[in-house]
Amino acid sequence: MVGALLLAIAPLWAQTGSARIRVADARGTAIPQATVSLISRWDGSVRTLSTNDTGEVVWADLPLGDARFLVWAPGFRLRRMTVTVRNGEDQTVAAFLEVAPLEDVPDVETFQVPNSDKLDLIPELSPSQPQPKPSKRKWWQIFR
C-alpha cells in the first residue's frame, strides 16, 4: 500500500513550470543582453541567462512555488523580483529597470602623456615654409 501511495504522489514532486521574463527600460523599450540570474534563498546565484534581441529570457523546469531573480544590465539599477511558478503555466512577467544615477556609473580611466606638459595639436611651421590658407569649412564640420 505504501509503495502504491508513493508511486501515485511521486509525479507531484517532479512537477515544474516555466517563466518568461521580459526586461525593458522605464519607457518599455526592450533591453537585449540583460542578465537574469535565478538565485537561491541564501542569495547565491543558481543559474544565469542573458536576454535575447527582444529582451526576453525563458526559464524552464522551475520548481513550483516562488522563484527569485536578479535582473540587471549595464547602466541600469539592479532589480530583485519574485515570480510564482504554477504547474503547467508559462508565467510571463515584465521587469522594468531604472537608469542608474550618475554616481553609480563607473569612472572612466584617464591617462597622461608621459614627459609632456602640453600637447601640441598644430605643428609649428618654420618661416621658410609657406603658410597654409585657412580652408572654408561647412557649418557641420565645426564640431569635429
pTM of the predicted model as reported, rounded to 2 decimal places? 0.60
* C-alpha–C-alpha distance, residues 55 and 67, integer Å: 19
> Looking at the predicted structure, is the pLDDT value of residue 122 above 80?
no
Residue 107 neighbours by CB under 8 Å, 6+ apart = none
The pLDDT value given to residue 119: 47
Task: Give the pLDDT confidence of 58-81 residue by residue, as tens digits.
Answer: 998 888 889 999 999 999 999 999
Residue of 16, 17, 45, 49 lying closest to 34 (CA atoms): 49
